[in-house]
Every structure is written in structure tokens, then in C-alpha cells.
Chain A
């Protein structure tokens, strides 16, 4: 095992289901302690990729190394170091949160009390004696994450942990994910939420149709796009014709509610607007991962 090498090395993995290329030549590496996100629309191949990396599926070709070892065929030496949350939460029947954790922990030889500590991390201590069927969707997600962490793994795989959560629950879960990373874990996770990935991930890979379209730190991907900034001012503060004359302004749209000024030099444009006293309720919108996605796939991102 390499001490300081990358935690995960994925080289050109492929997986087809009949004619469908679910994963079509995916390669990436994840450093130890890194928070890595796989983003993409439904059916992009995120789960399949993740399952191949975890060792649940055999790739048609390509190789995976986790901490220097191959996860396929089932590698009992590696398994204790991996924590996995599957896309649909998987629980034993009719057990309480506490018992779920103890049982999953026991599969890894973890003491009953250590397993239960995880409830605190995910904020479910008050639900310790509630059965999984009586938990809310967000609580189930959190329990499912806790079960993945019960044996204190080095690398954590989470498949859409924030799916189907309300905004508040999502933000709570972000705190949980950050806390996991703060413990020094390597995290690989998938999500539909580009905004969330931008906030949480050290690096992301944008996946579409089984391929990685772009990969890197979110800010870097956005900057590389070299997209224009949009300055949005309230309708009536300046006219579209005036806006077009502003320094830096490129394309101006008046949608009846706002004047949207696409600018190559946001600083100059905003300064000029300030001199016109037109900055009341103005918004500045810089490019996001969504724009990167749009640019890469030529279609708007739909969650």
C-alpha cells in the first residue's frame, strides 16, 4: 500500500448494458482527504461509476485502485476501509436507528457503543429508538450516512446523500459532510445539485452520458469558462439603450422586469452604473457550474 499516493485511482473504466454505454471511459484520481464530487443528470452513469469503484460491480474494462488495492473481485482486506451509502437507503427490517448502527457496525467488528456515537455526528440522538420506517426522508438519509460511517472508514462513498431533502435539511447535511471531511476522511459523492457541489467539493467531475466532460476545482472550472458576468438592474433605473453605452457592456436584454447587462468587465460597468445612481437593488451574477455544464453539454441543466 502506498502511504502518500492517491486514495483512489480510476483508469478508463467502461460498463455497457446491452447497447447502452452506462460508463464510457471514465478516469479520475482522488487524493487522500479530498472531497470529490461526481455531478450529472439522471442516467449519466454516476451510480454505476461509484459502484464499480466500490467493488460492487465489475467493469467491462479498465481498472480501479483504492489505497493501492483492487476492489474487484470482492477484497475483504479493503472492505473495512470503505464506507458506502447506496442510492436507495438500505436498512434491516424493524430495527431502531441505534440497532441499525449496531448491526451494521457489527458486520465490521465495531463495538456497540462506538457505532452508536455516529448518531450524534448526524444529529439523530433523539431518534435513537425510532424504527427506520418512522423516520422522515432526511432523517433516513442521515441514518444511512451514519451506517456508512459506523466502522470509521477511511474512504466514504455517498450516492446522492442530499437528494429529496428540503433546503434546510440539505444545509444540515452539508454540515455533516463537512464534519466527516474534517475527520480526515476521503469523500466521493454524487449529486444533482451543482450549487451544492460548488460549495462542498474540492474537486468535481461533470459526468454526462457515461463520460467525464470536465474535471477540476469548481472555481477553476468556472473561471476557465471565461464567461461574462451579468449585472442586473431594476427596470426603469436605466434604459436598455443607455446600458449598451456603458463601459464593458456587451449584450443587454430588457425583460420588462430587469435590465440584464452581460459585461466583460464587471468592475467598470458597475462603477459607471454607480455614477448614474442606478445600483439600487442591482444584482451581480457570475458564472456557476451550471453555466459550465450548459456550455459543455449544450443543454440547460435540469435537476
Chain B
């Protein structure tokens, strides 16, 4: 226990003194938050997904409009769930002459285009009916009480990215540095379990991840950014810990394979950056081709993103942790086994 606490203390001190790394760990995600908040006003033109319940001229007109992909649902409850999950940008519920439009305002970049398509379709249906007053009356209503700002979906994505990057880099660099500086050999000569060393380093990674999250969320909830946390936000804590475990093991694997700090930095960048883009940490990937989506589903970061979005913003309960949690645990087991296989105490 003394070894564990003393090692942990040593690592916290060392990490606190590494100001450059501290900056990257804590400030980078915030810089990304600012940049992407500014960028999120920009809409990327392509097909929008719209759910329809019932049938009418409006629905027919929507079917004919360009750049719209309709998904038909039996009842509005399942359609709303699909909207909540971010699978569709808006719902059109058609009952007789009344048209109910529901959307998750600001939750996704495509809400605006979807609403525009819908009002176009209503206009053309009214034109076709040729009655005055217009046949179809439209009621629009967001599904959430409060409107979703871009910050709501940016926060979980960038935070997951920040946490995963920090975990991969710090663990990989520590392992390589310790091997190169022969600290590993000295540890090998000390009568302590390797578990104490590993777990004290892991503790550092977890504490850093939680601090990152606390700072990031604190900034994101400032009025300028305006993040609204769900009541279930604390469910993000187990997710942050599991995510850290997963990406810590990625760092351990990279650190086991690479010899120098330079090569491991390159490898970590190669591992984390494409993954963040593919996992939709910065941009939604709903528009990506199916085969890309297939890849992204294999990425642990994707599941961490989704889980964070569910618990931090969408206000889902414990059940939202099941899939991301199991994926992250499974991933951790596989990767850390690989890391153990490739582990070396010394160069040569």
C-alpha cells in the first residue's frame, strides 16, 4: 500500500510539473470546443432523414422532394424514439388535415434543412389542394422542453475525444520513457507486484480524465456556450472511467510496441485522430456511407461518444450504459491482453 500511494504521489507530482502536457490535456479540448461551436453553424448539404407517421398529400410531396430520405413508422412513439436517438432529423405525423412536426431543436445540424424540406412539401401539398384557407395546417414543436443548442452534441464528442487522447498519449509515453530510462528494470528489481505500478499509473489516468471532464463541462455550461446538463449527468462518470481504461490499454499496447518517444507519439496520433473523426466526435457521421458506419461501430470511441451523449444530454438512464459499457470493457480486455503479450522490460 505504501508503494502504491507513494508511486501515485510521485506520478501526480511529475504529471503536474509537466506543464506542456497539462496544457494539451486540459486546454486542447476547450480550444476544440470553441472552434467547433463556431463551425457548427455551417450545414453540410446532403440527404436529410425524416420520419413519417401516417399518409397524406404532404407525405407524398415529401417523398418526391430531392435530398430527403423518408423512414415510415407505425406510431409516433417509436418515431420520437428514433428522433431522440438521432437517427432522424424530424418527424412528420399526419392525421387527416393536421400535420404535426416534431424535431429536436438544435440537437443536430440537419434540423434546419429538414424543417425547410417539410415546409416546402406542405406548401406544395396546399398548392395541389388549391383551397383557401390552405388545407393543411402545420403545428411545429420541438420534442424537448428546452431547445438543443449545438453545444449539446459537441460536448460529449469533444470530451470523449479529449479523454481518450490524454489516456493514450500519457500511458504510451510513460511506458516508453520508463523503458528507455531503465526505470522498468529498476522496478523489476524491487520486491513489489507489477500490479501496484500499473494501478497507480491507471489511477493517475482516471483522475486526469475526471478532472478534464469537470473542467470541460464547467466551461461548456458557461452562458457563452450554454450547455444544459441532464439530470443523469453523473452516469457519465462510470463511462469516463471505462473509456479511460480502454484508451489506457491502447496506450500500453502502443508503448509496448514502439521503442522511442517520437515513434510512439506518431503511432498515438495515427490511432486517435482518424478514430475521433470516424467516431463522430467532431462531426455527426449519420451521413457517412454504410460501410463507414460499419467501421465506426467497431470503434470504442464511437460507443463512448454515444453513451456520453445519452447520459449527459439526452437524459437517458442506466440502461444507456449497457452497450457502451460492454463494448469498452471488451475492448479493454482484448487490447490489454495484446499489450501484455508485446510488453518488454527493456530495449534490445
- Residues of chain B contacted by A76 (CB below 8 angstroms): 191
Stretch of A92-100, A174-182, A211-219 lying at the B interface: A92-100
Known contacts A86-B182, A88-B182, A92-B183: does B10 contact A103 (CB below 8 Å)? yes
CB <8 Å contact, A102 and B6 = yes
B185, CB-defined interface residue at 8 Å: yes
Chain B contributes a number of interface residues (CB within 8 A of A) equal to 23
Known contacts A79-B189, A80-B191, A84-B189: does B10 contact A95 (CB below 8 Å)? yes
B187, CB-defined interface residue at 8 Å: yes
Range for the number of chain A residues in contact with chain B = 20 to 34
CB <8 Å contact, B186 and A90 = yes
CB <8 Å contact, B13 and A107 = no
CB <8 Å contact, B183 and A79 = no
How far is it, in angstroms, between the C-alpha of A92 and the C-alpha of B14 when the chains are bound? 8
Known contacts A86-B186, A88-B182, A103-B7: does B177 contact A93 (CB below 8 Å)? yes
Known contacts A88-B182, A91-B183, A93-B177: does B188 contact A74 (CB below 8 Å)? yes
Known contacts A92-B183, A103-B6: does B17 contact A108 (CB below 8 Å)? no
Interface of B is mostly: helix
B74, CB-defined interface residue at 8 Å: no
How far is it, in angstroms, between the C-alpha of A80 and the C-alpha of B6 when the chains are bound? 17
CB <8 Å contact, B186 and A84 = yes
CB <8 Å contact, B183 and A106 = no
The 8 Å CB contact of B181, one of A82, A84, A90, is A90
How far is it, in angstroms, between the C-alpha of A74 and the C-alpha of B9 when the chains are bound? 27
How far is it, in angstroms, between the C-alpha of A86 and the C-alpha of B184 when the chains are bound? 11
Q: Which of A91, A99, A107, A147 has the most CB of B within 10 A?
A: A107
CB <8 Å contact, A54 and B189 = yes
B18, CB-defined interface residue at 8 Å: yes
- Residues of chain B contacted by A55 (CB below 8 angstroms): 189
CB <8 Å contact, A106 and B3 = yes
The 8 Å CB contact of A93, one of B3, B14, B191, is B14
Q: Which of B181, B191, B192 has the most CB of A within 10 A?
A: B191
Bitwise, B5-34 to A at CB < 8 A (1) or not (0) is 111001001100110000000000000000
CB <8 Å contact, B10 and A107 = no
List B residues 169-194 near A (Cβ within 8 Å): 174, 177, 181-183, 185-192
- Residues of chain A contacted by B189 (CB below 8 angstroms): 54-56, 79, 82, 84
The 8 Å CB contact of B18, one of A56, A86, A92, A94, is A94
- Residues of chain A contacted by B3 (CB below 8 angstroms): 106-107, 109
How far is it, in angstroms, between the C-alpha of A84 and the C-alpha of B188 when the chains are bound? 11
Closest A residue by C-beta to B181: A90
A293, CB-defined interface residue at 8 Å: no
A104, CB-defined interface residue at 8 Å: yes
The 8 Å CB contact of B192, one of A54, A92, A107, A131, is A107
Known contacts A84-B186, A90-B186: does B6 contact A95 (CB below 8 Å)? no
- Residues of chain B contacted by A91 (CB below 8 angstroms): 181, 183
- Residues of chain A contacted by B14 (CB below 8 angstroms): 92-95
- Residues of chain B contacted by A90 (CB below 8 angstroms): 181-183, 185-186
CB <8 Å contact, B187 and A95 = no
25 A-B pairs with CB atoms under 8 Å apart are A54-B189, A55-B189, A56-B185, A79-B189, A79-B191, A84-B189, A88-B181, A88-B182, A90-B182, A91-B181, A92-B183, A94-B14, A94-B18, A102-B6, A103-B10, A104-B186, A104-B190, A106-B3, A106-B6, A107-B7, A107-B190, A107-B192, A109-B2, A109-B3, A112-B6
**Chain B contact residues, CB within 8 Å of chain A:** 2-3, 5-7, 10, 13-14, 17-18, 174, 177, 181-183, 185-192
- Identify the 8 closest CB pairs spanning chains A and B, nearest first: A106-B6, A90-B182, A107-B190, A79-B191, A94-B14, A103-B10, A94-B17, A76-B191
